[in-house]
Amino acid sequence: MDASVMTDLMFAFVALLGGWVLKRIFFLLDRLQQEDKSIRLQVSDLQSDSVSRRELQGALDRLLRSFESRMDKMEERLMSK
């Protein structure tokens, strides 16, 4: 084979490989953008469903008071026996 034909074949192979790599990169970037969009939608949905700090603190206080009153009742029962 001629040297110029070999050079042309090598350039064609490099161009083909480079084109495939670029196509793969752009495909992965598109998929990454789609996943990012779905994650942003999930986060915005989560933000609308979340509770405020004050509501959470109030619920925890009610839960602790209920637990303490039940523990007091159990302690009274045990002490009375």
Q: Is residue 26's pLDDT more than 80?
A: yes
Q: Is residue 24's pLDDT more than 90?
A: yes
65 and 44 within one domain: no
Average confidence score pLDDT of the chain: 90
56 and 46 within one domain: no
59 and 69 within one domain: yes
Residue range 2-22: average pLDDT? 95
58 and 41 within one domain: no
Structural domain of 36: 1-50
- Tokens for 11, please give them: 């350039």
- pLDDT tens digit string along 41-52? 888 877 777 778
Q: In which band, very low, low, confident or very high, does the pLDDT at 77 lie, cut at 50, 70 and 90?
A: confident
46 and 12 within one domain: yes
31 and 1 within one domain: yes
Answer yes or no: pTM beyond 0.75: no
Q: Quick one: DSSP state of residue 33?
A: H
Q: How far apart are CA 16 and CA 5, in angstroms?
A: 16
- pLDDT tens digit string along 52-67? 888 889 999 999 999 9
